[in-house]
Amino acid sequence: MGNPKVSVVITGFEAKFYDELLDFITLFQYGKFIKKLMYEETEVGYGDNVAELGVGNGRNAILLSNRVGEKGEIVGFDISPDMLEKAKKKTKDYKNIRIIKHDIRLDFPKEFYDYFDVALIALAFHGFTPRDRERILDNVRKILKDGGKFYILDYNQMNYAKSPFYFKILIDKFECPLAEEFLGYDLINVANKYGFRLTKKRTYVKGLFQYSEFTLEK
Ligand SMILES: C[S@@+](CC[C@H](N)C(=O)[O-])C[C@H]1O[C@@H](n2cnc3c(N)ncnc32)[C@H](O)[C@@H]1O
């Protein structure tokens, strides 16, 4: 215990029990919370195409699949073989979910350019270097349609020194080293450079987490 993780790639034990661990450390609140976000805060319509970057085991993709119906699809991207295997298994009965191995820091296949109405990255953006975050924003800009929405669920920007002690324990002991840097990251202005305008922002757990909606203007 106590060794901060070095990256946001999830493998092994954590991949196997990802949902259970997340539910446990949030005192079984996360399941209800993510359902509410996917159903009520994410603007997704029938027939939309949705990209999830760092799809994990596919829980969010499944929650969104009903909303896009048989005319739309959810495409989940990940690089962890363990997570990809779990996601493929978990989503196998959903005809409108595709799980694809792809490093989101790299250019997406051309077939996805201007393909998506919505993109989502949940609990992962903080784990990339500032340079990689910009690569990801640039990649999302290419795959989203003009006017498309990009949702980021992550830590909120804040003064780390003034954050509650339990949050400092989470960041210091359990998170990857980039998480603390992300708390002071100029997300809104960096996203603006790539054409993303902040159009909605919700914060949770006394402002420690954000769910931000950016709208792309190409
Ligand atoms: C903390 S998990 C979040 C999973 C899911 N989004 C959720 O909300 O449950 C982060 C995910 O991002 C994936 N990931 C990390 N780096 C990646 C990269 N460069 N390209 C694609 N996926 C990546 C990890 O393998 C992991 O599945």
Positive or negative: CA dihedral 112, 209, 177, 9: negative
Residue 17 pLDDT grade (very low, low, confident, very high; cuts 50, 70, 90): confident
Average of per-residue pLDDT across 4-14: 72
**Residues 92-142: tens digit of each pLDDT:** 999 999 999 999 999 999 999 999 999 999 999 999 999 999 999 999 999
- CA neighbor of 180 nearest in space, from 104, 132, 127: 127
Taking the complete model, does pTM exceed 0.85, yes or no? yes
Whether ligand 1 lies within 6 angstroms of the CB of 105 is answered as yes
Ligand 1 center from residue 136 Cα (angstroms): 13
Which domains, from first to last, does the chain contain? 12-216 (3.40.50.150)
212 phi and psi angles, rounded to 5 deg:
-110, 135
pLDDT over 90 for what percent of the chain? 83
Sheet holding 97-101, edge to edge: 97-101, 73-78, 49-53, 116-122, 144-155, 209-216, 196-204
Looking at this protein, which amino acid is placed at residue 96? N
**H-run or E-run covering 133:** helix 130-143
**Do the Cβ atoms of 4 and 50 come closer than 8 Å?**
no
8 Cβ closer than 6 Å to some ligand 1 atom: yes
The pLDDT tens digits of the residues spanning 48-72 come to 999 999 999 999 999 999 999 999 9
Residue nearest to atom 21 of ligand 1 (CA): 78
CA 11 to ligand 1 centroid distance, Å: 10
CA of 76 to the centre of ligand 1 (A): 10
How far away, in angstroms, is 145 Cα from ligand 1 center?
Answer: 23
CA 83 – CA 57 distance, rounded (Å)? 5
144's tokens:
């989203």
**Tens digits of per-residue pLDDT, 151-177?**
999 999 999 999 999 999 999 988 998
